[in-house]
Amino acid sequence: MTDTEFATVAVNTHVQTLEVLEVIAETAQAVSVVLDVPDRLVNKFRYVPGQFLTVRVPGPDRDGTGVARCYSLSSSPHLDDQLIITVKRVAGGYASNWICDNLRAGDHLTVLSPSGKFVPRSLHQDLLLVGAGSGATPLLSIIKSTLIGGSGAIFFLYVNRTQDDVIFDSELHEIMTEFPDRFVVRHHLDDRDGVVTREDLAVRLSPYAKCDVYLCGPDGFMTVVREALSAAGVPEDRVHTEIFQSLSGDPFADIVIPPITAGSDDAQVRVEVDGKKHELTWPRDVPLLDVLLSKGIDAPYSCREGACSACACTIRSGDVRMLRNDTLVDADLAAGLTLACQAVPISDEVEIEFDQ
């Protein structure tokens, strides 16, 4: 056996370090972190509204490398020059409290390139947005992008426990003043209006049953809203939900791809990444992402464990199966999405496109 057969490929170009320009106190429990993107990294950090950054927070983990957390971008690619993530304290949560208590202008954060599939299908269609607490973060990016870069109108129902918990309060008011014919925000405060119920929400949201819906908030809240939307007659395939999974591995570690050996039963894949098309041999037991990275193809990814959807891509033809899937829902699968880090081929020929 030759040395080449034992060779491995280390790939970590997805990991970058950005300077913190400013830390803005949004509420007593939430901050926005403004990150500078140098000219040489502009292409690495292009994003679309609704995506997130995976951030490494130094801390007390078992191997001393820090913990990885996903935080949505509240900035808009149609308006803001810098990247902005917004972080709300989680009770007992190490990473969010570390960011709120310790991060200052001039510090640096290690991050992965923007990723995620919680993005509007079009900026030119009317949208219903429903958020709770820090769930407003990706929704703000969608709001600004739609109003500035598109023609759609937006109704935003924003739920919080108290007025003091409302993130982006003044900014949302300013946006509504600037776009009175296209943007309406309605605040629901639990201490004033009571806890939201499925029945109440079904009535309030039914006028927007023909809109695409984007939903972000705590799990229990999202369950109630989805039930209300169903009762209001909103088709399931129009409801888009942002879901973050806890990452068990270290997405910032150097990635070593085991040797990939060609076989007689390999599939063939045509894959498009960043507008470039590639034709590759795809062994039956090797995830697509590993094949791409082994060839030096800079495909998007974060966790490599099927939990974050950063490597989501669309099957244009052929069939694949996933070794694991903790993030794509039935509507995603029906639309042809798969996870490159978990996908292995079933058919002899497959065509894949990375849409973002």
Tens of pLDDT, residue by residue over 150-182, are: 999 999 999 999 999 999 999 999 999 999 999
Q: Is 19 exposed, middle or buried, given 0-12, 13-18 or 19+ CB atoms closer than 10 A?
A: middle
Residues 285 and 235 in one domain: no
Residues 51 and 104 in one domain: yes
Same domain? For 175 and 282 the reply is no
290 found inside a domain: yes
- Within a domain: 86: yes
What is the mean pLDDT for each group of 10 consecutive residues in the chain (356 residues)?
Answer: 43 83 97 96 91 87 73 96 96 93 96 88 96 97 98 98 97 97 98 96 95 95 96 92 72 80 91 93 94 88 80 95 87 90 96 86
95: closest CA among 54, 63, 132, 49? Answer: 54
* pTM for this predicted structure: 0.84
Q: Which of 82, 115, 148 is the last residue of a domain?
A: 115
- Please indicate, yes or no, if residue 148 is contained in any of the structural domains: yes
List of E strands, 242-341: 255-257, 267-273, 276-282, 312-317, 320-322, 337-339
Q: Is residue 122 part of a domain?
A: no
Structural domain ending residue among the three candidates 92, 115, 138: 115
Q: Are 203 and 259 within one domain?
A: no
Answer yes or no: is 296 within a domain.
yes
One domain for residues 16 and 111: yes
pLDDT given at position 247: 66
Shared domain for 133 and 171, answered yes or no, is yes
Q: What is the pLDDT of residue 260?
A: 85
Q: Where residue 146 sits, what CATH number does that domain have?
A: 3.40.50.80
Q: From CA 229, how far away is CA 232, in angstroms rounded? A: 5
249 in a structural domain: no
Residue 89 confidence (pLDDT)? 95
pLDDT score at 44: 86
- The 8-class DSSP code of residue 251 comes to T
Domain end marker among 115, 136, 159: 115
305-331: pLDDT as tens digits: 887 788 899 999 999 999 998 888 887
Domain holding 24: CATH number?
2.40.30.10
Q: Do the domain assignments include residue 1?
A: no
* Cα–Cα distance for residue pair 170/87, rounded to 1 Å: 17
Query: How many domains does one find in the chain?
Result: 3
Q: What is the DSSP string of 197-228?
A: -HHHHHHHHGGGTTSEEEEES-HHHHHHHHHH
Do 220 and 138 share a structural domain? Answer: yes
Q: Quick check: is 2 in a domain?
A: no
Which phi and psi angles does 191 have, rounded to 5°? Answer: -70, -15
Domain that holds residue 41: 9-115
Report the pLDDT value the prediction gives residue 296, as an integer from 0 to 100.
86
